[in-house]
Amino acid sequence: MPRPLPSFVRPPPKIAPLSRAGRWRVGALLVAACLVLLVQIVLADRERFAASPTWRPWMERVCASLGCTLPAWHEPGAFVVLSREIQPHPTNRQALLVTASFRNDAAWTQGWPQLELALTDLDGQRIGLRRFEPVEYLGGSPSREGLAPGQSATVALEILDPGNRAVAFEFDFH
């Protein structure tokens, strides 16, 4: 037989079990709180999610409905040089005129890349390297935010002539 409780101990309150409707309300509240937390996590870390090819389409749909913005897609390896040419500058004998066209082969629009031009000698050693920002190779601020998939651009660069040592040049994108 259980012993009676001492007089200073109060018996535990009787708690009625939740009704079926109450359990549904608590469950719905927990699900809603989890969804809100998930949306907050995704929006707070949207730059990382937007940089993933798996998550990017989903993030674009979410941001389109919520009115948020995503950073431009950044995949420098998806820029492909279509043509390139180097020739003496038509008006300045101490300069060269470099022209090139490139295309965005990424799945999404990319911001304008930083363009790297390297000059090499007969041994393949770099004798000159310069990185050009979009305002430099476009001749001013870009007229559009970036290059859409499959879209191409043509650029012209004026550089000092390094003389007979430079025998080759290459482009890279950053």
DSSP readout, 69-137? Answer: --PPB--GGGEEEEEEEEEE-SS-TTEEEEEEEEEE-SSS-EEPPPEEEEEE-TTS-EEEEEEE-HHHH
For the chain of 174 residues, list the mean pLDDT of each consecutive stretch of 10.
79 82 88 89 80 88 85 92 93 92 94 93 89 91 88 92 86 94
- Give the Å distances, CA to CA, from 108 to 46, 143, 153, 173: 16, 18, 16, 16
pTM of the complete model: 0.69
- Give the per-residue pLDDT at 83: 95
Indicate the class that CATH gives domain 76-173.
mainly beta
- Give the per-residue pLDDT at 132: 94
Residues of the chain with CATH 2.70.50.60: 76-173
**Calpha distance 143→134 (Å, rounded):** 11
